[in-house]
Structure 1
Amino acid sequence: MSSPMDIPPDLVGQSGLYNSPDPLLRRLRLETPEGKSINNLSKYFAEKEVLVLYAGSEFGENNIRGFHRDLQSFQQKYKSASVIYISTDVLEKQLKSIIQGKTWLNLTFFDNSDFAPIGEPDEKDWSVNLQEVKRGEDFLQAGEIELGVEKIQFGIEENENDYVRPLSRAGLTILMNVFSTPSISIYHLPTHQFLAKNVSMNSFKPENIDKNYQIWKGGESTSIKISDIINKMKWTLLLLVLAILYHFAVRFGGEQYDFIPKIMNGINGKFGGKI
């Protein structure tokens, strides 16, 4: 668990707006589709239960517009859920091209994310905007999480009165185990933990989402587990084990254990050699 820190000078007197006992939510600096910061987390998320964390980029967006429509419909239908877009792009205009017309929230863009461009980008006022948005906060970066410099313990409540470093976009993608975009994770606010990571886009199709959301809302995962695979394939696996045992019995025990041909010959004899 991260240790509490001194409040940045620019947040003195208003850090309580980020109060939340949830170890993830309290570390997010979120904005509405209109670009306004969500400061009072406790008030805004009072009725929310599920966070859909969507890490995406402008590249390849044309190929997943169907998914975007499904996600937009999901956000409008389920009021106890919030979709949060995490841009992995390096220019703010790329973020805006994705969230335009959407009702999703998004992680603030200017956070010094590890994958931000080195040097001065094309937009001349980028560094000025960075300071205005950051308000003196030191965002937790991906490298620090990977090296274990900062550890976040999920599944428990934290002291909401302690100030902790906010997560950068890059830092959050590490927690989500993002290998490529699009990447979707499901987070359950009541239990303070991730339910599923790298969720299939098909989970949000109209024919699937009602069932899936009830599972997520109940604090369960829709991810395929090893136990589920074993349960569905138990008879197939049993036959496979028996076949392997039979093979080794014949190979090392001799022809006396090769009983299948004898059984087949017996059956064939009963049917007059017609099999």
Structure 2
Amino acid sequence: MSAPRPAGRRLVLGLLAVLVVAVLAGGAVLLAGRAGDPEAVPEAEPGPVLLVPGYGGSTASLQPLADRLTAEGRDATVVAVPGDGTGDLLASAGALGEAVDAALQRSGAESVDVVGYSAGGLIARLWVADGGADVARRVLTLGSPHHGTTVADLARTLAPARCPIGCQQMTTDSELVIGLNAGDETPEGPDWVSIWTTQDATVTPPDSARLDGALNLPVQSVCADARPAHEELPADPLVLAMVVELLAAGGPAELGPDDCTRLGG
């Protein structure tokens, strides 16, 4: 075939330009569609609950909460995270995504609730940011270092060999923490709840657990004399009662001192 003449070349180039513009315009439409906020998941029909352990990955620490939720008629699963829970939190978010898919397929539900304990709260937020907002009805975190913890800062400085990637990602200046908190800390989609204790010596300062845009509930705002430590949060009777109430059908209710006795504090 002979090469196109000059006029023919101009026609071919013109057609190519039109094609490129059309492709780019189509891509822009797709990106615009993806950029929209997800629709809120219906509140009235709670689905399975996925419980995400903290640094170290001990699933046993969350078993009391799983048992309590099961006793209340909920479908509760503790998620096993890779790398003994000290590895890359992004990989753990992927494991949470797989567990969510399995729970939805098994139950036939349209949404899930996620409870993240300690680093598990960061894992839950990473999962939401990677598409989980479409199926998350509620995300509740327990003593999570949403703005990092100075304990991880200290570990990185004094014993770097004992501060693997999961530890490094929880430092107050980590790229992961800064990225999660850039802009909107609580993206549209799920309801967000953060529970923590002022007695926390692991997440320091304790109000690093405060999440902008969430229902923030220090345990002591409900029962002023409560003294659970960080490691006691997943099994503390008052905290268990708070979690059950906050994961019930309907929107999460503000809790306060008037609820202390009723919740067993």
Q: Same fold (TM over 0.5)?
A: no
Greater relative contact order, per chain length (Cα 8 Å cut-off, separation 6+): 1
Q: Normalised by the size of structure 2, how large is the TM-score?
A: 0.30
